[in-house]
Chains A and B, each alone.
Chain A
Amino acid sequence: MSAYVASIVSVVGINMILALSLNIITGFCGQVSLGHAAFYGIGAYTAAYLSKLGVALPLTLLAGTITAGLIGVVVGLTSLRVRHDFLAVTTMGIGFVFLGFVRKQKWLGGELGISGIPASGLDPLAYALLIVGAAAAVIAFTVWLKRSWMGFTFDAVADDEDAARTVGINVSTYKLTAFGIGTALAGLAGGLYIYFARIILPDTFDFVQSIAILTMVVIGGTGSVWGIVASTIALTLLPEVSRAASDYRLLIFGAMLMLVMRFSPDGLAGLVRRRTTP
């Protein structure tokens, strides 16, 4: 396996963690988030800052995960106050607040980001396998989560918040849990990203990135797991396979969003389900 393949595998793994983590919030629990890239960024910045201080890899990843998760719970508090469209715009705002803050912080490198991040100590192939291992663990976790009692409760909250409250579900706790888990995993993806890229820029975590993550979730099928795994692999590899697709990556993302929503609002997973069950 060449370095090129290792890098593609790493990117696929990171994107998969990002998409599946957003899926916990938006797919399972039904809380629209248009600012997921901010938590990816929080994880990345935390891990990068600590790694520059000489902290070892497992600890930086852990710190990135926890910081993103904690801030995620705080942001989740907004979902207790505002719903649906209000929440979509608020989470989008969180993304801009994060970027606007980071860009102005000299100790985080400002516009130039953080460069010269120490190596992971693993060769690229082994590190790619580490990312794949993490992605596999996240897949297994979300499959389990979906079938667990908590998954059913998320479903109830997503379906009809007021009805869920009527049957005695503590809606607030579950929303915050979904935000906490989802954002923590995005933070993990951020931590994994820094040892792969070795440099981070604020713009990596902008609104377009949030939309790219959302695209993978929506095209795979909001709330599904395997649909999203498939769409993440397809959408990440597409620009690599074809030169045209890499030049027009955003154009293709946008067009796919429109077409999928128009003809199969539940994504690839819904398409497959309708084909297999008459």
Chain B
Amino acid sequence: MLFVELAVTGLVYGCMYAMMAVGLTLVYGLLRILHIAHAGVFALGAYVAVVVANATGSLALGFALALVVSAIAGVAIYRFAYQPLLGHPPFVPMIVSIGLFIVMQEGFRMVFGAYGIAFDDNPWYTSTVAIAGINLNYVEIAMVISSVVLLVGFGLFASLTRAGIGWRATVTDPQMATSFGVDPVRVRYVIFLFGSALAGIAGALVGLLNNYVEPTMGGLVSYKALAIIVLGGLGNVRGTLLASLVLGVVESYGTIYLADVFDRDAIGFLFLIVVLMVRPQGLLGRG
């Protein structure tokens, strides 16, 4: 029974990682930038959700605003931090991204305090439901449902709409796509808008899951998301989804069976390093 329970917890975490990592891998696929400041967007989503929910008493409003604000923040990051640097080697925007992430994290600390905020009213946190003998609380279920809905939605967008096809064309061959009338700048905006909205929702859900929002909460999740996109093969969306779920499960088992040697965070990266040494191109290869 423990065996199954660990797998389920692992998959719940995997869904959360997937929501973070898909945004990162989209940005990487398009611009070849390691978007570390994505972690700041994640924390921003959580803060907006908790502050709005506590002020108005409406969790739904908190989540809606978290989605909107983090999407706008993502576009602003692209416009003001990355766009001026597109001609430079990838090292340069990566450093900027690290700088921006630190600034955001310190900004949260200054504005909201170092100790974190809890939700005043978090009914989902305490209500659990037993599915096939395994207890899950509502937040965990919401995490799985929202990641599936959002990612399937993105899949449909990419395969059915003009903008989605334009995006795929731009990733494959920017010049060719441009000459066929796809506006590459608009594609970038769409990617940052969507990826950041996902990160913001993930942040808000993690805030609910821990019933706690703190300035540094983005850090570890985003470092792991970086590990995941490398595992999946940088820029490869399918590989990223697979790697997210695999990492969630590996961590979940690792925390039980390797507890005396490594902590949870080390296990993920250890797994990453081992996989990369065997398959330097990632699990499914470069996208």
Contact = CB atoms under 8 A, between A and B. Distances in A.
Given A85-B90, A92-B223, A97-B266, A258 B273 contact: no
B230 A258 contact: no
**How big is chain B's contact interface, by range?**
35 or more
Given A93-B227, A262-B84, A253 B263 contact: no
Interface stretch (B95-103, B173-181, B194-202, B203-211): B95-103
A104 B262 contact: yes
Contacts of A104: 259-263
Contacts of A85: 28, 32, 34, 90, 94, 230, 234
Interface residues of A, number: 37
B257 interface: no
B223 A254 contact: no
Most chain B beta-carbon contacts within 10 A, residue among A81, A85, A88, A256: A85
A120 B70 CA distance: 52
B272 interface: yes
Interface in B83-121: 84-85, 88, 90-96, 98-103, 105-107, 110
B94 A88 contact: yes
A261 B88 CA distance: 10
A250 B102 contact: yes
Interface in A254-268: 254-258, 261-262, 265
B99 A256 contact: yes
Given A82-B276, A92-B223, A248 B106 contact: yes
Interface string A72-107: 000000100110111011101110111111011000
> Interface majority SS on A: helix, strand, loop or mixed?
helix
Contact of A89 (B34, B90, B96, B219): B34
A207 B94 CA distance: 15
A85 B93 CA distance: 12
A89 B102 contact: no
A85 B31 CA distance: 12
Contacts of A97: 262, 266, 269-270, 273
Interface of A: 32, 78, 81-82, 84-86, 88-90, 92-94, 96-101, 103-104, 207, 211, 214, 218, 248, 250-251, 253-258, 261-262, 265
Closest 4 CB pairs of A and B: A100-B266, A257-B99, A254-B102, A93-B269
